Amino acid sequence: MPELTYREAIRETLREALNNDNRVFLMGEDIGAYGGAYGVTQGLLAEFGEQRVKDSPIAESVLVGAGIGAAMGGLRPIVELMTINFSLLASDQIVNAAAKMLFMSGGQITVPLIIRTVSGGGNQLGASHSQCLEGWYAQVPGLKVVSPSTPYDACGLLRSAVAEETPVMFVEHSLLYNFRGPVPDEYYTVPIGEADVKRVGSDVTIVAHLRMVHVALQAAEELAEEGIEAEVVDLRSLRPLDTDTINESVMKTNRAVVVEEGWKTGGFGAEVVSSIMEHSFDYLDAPVARVAGQEVPMPYNRDLEQAAIPRPGDVVAAVKSLV
């Protein structure tokens, strides 16, 4: 099975979508000649031309609004927002227009729009460029929010998103773009709303998404050296949320740690904990633990930035507090 980077898996899936459906087009800041801020769209302008790969001004509200209008008009736009931080400038378009159009039109108007964007820190980009806001959008009915952690999932989830008739927030992580993994040559999809057990274990369930899946996996390997076998559940999708897979794992292991890169206060991890308490309380042998980013605007200094983001040692310590 061939291996691709996370970046390559997304690029090849975008290329596939452009080839398969002439209604699909890409639009975003610097996605053309520059190839995208993270190099994901490199080469697509030369291959498909300016009508299919459109550079936009630095105006996120206009960018998303144009995407919504194009989707309502019968096209299938894939809009790239350079980071999820910049989505705040388009939040009215995302939350009050894209997410609600199907409902407010009585089912007459669909918005088959994909918004690709990048979450998280670790690149020394400062406080206003390093936030994890995907949980905010996961609260909004009418949106689907996905968060692939591997090249395999990025390809499969993007294919599923392309087929959707409703808007999808496709959230990536900048520190995953060079991560390599197997991606089959044969066509496959990953259903939106289906979590994945990335590592089987019997002593504790660790639930995470995006880059924190890899932090959890590294922690699980460290724990295994001490005889503690952790099961790692990758959410893959925040809305819809696969509560069945989470709770099936917790009912087996009887302990749970929920890990997220964003802030704990009001964080998406609280939603996962709530589901565990509602459905698996009688199976728990210890309180559910949470690991999250520090409650500060992200520091620019590299050492302070690394200290603000959960590390494998933090997850190991949380697990040990339970077992």
195-215 pLDDT, tens digit each: 999 999 999 999 999 999 999
CA atoms within 13 A on the CB side of 284: 16
Backbone angles phi, psi at 296, to 5 degrees: -140, 155
C-alpha to C-alpha distance for 136 and 129, rounded to whole angstroms: 16
pLDDT at 263 over 90: yes
The secondary structure element, H or E, covering residue 35 is none
Question: What are the catalytic residues?
Answer: 60, 129
Question: In the chain, which segments carry CATH 3.40.50.920?
Answer: 196-322
The pTM score is 0.96
Distance (Å, rounded) from C-alpha 66 to C-alpha 60? Answer: 10
Those residues whose C-beta lies under 8 Å from the C-beta of residue 80, and which sit 6 or more positions away, are: 26, 27, 28, 29, 31, 36, 40, 41, 115, 116, 117
**Cβ(308)–Cβ(296) below 8 Å:** yes
Q: For the chain, where do the domains classified as CATH 3.40.50.970 start and end?
A: 3-182
Fold classification of 196-322 is Rossmann fold (3.40.50)
- The CATH superfamily assigned to 3-182 is Thiamin diphosphate (ThDP)-binding fold, Pyr/PP domains (3.40.50.970)
What string of DSSP letters covers 39-67?
Answer: STTTTHHHHH-TTTEEE--S-HHHHHHHH
Q: pLDDT per residue over 61-114, tens digit each? A: 999 999 999 999 999 999 999 999 999 999 999 999 999 999 999 999 999 999
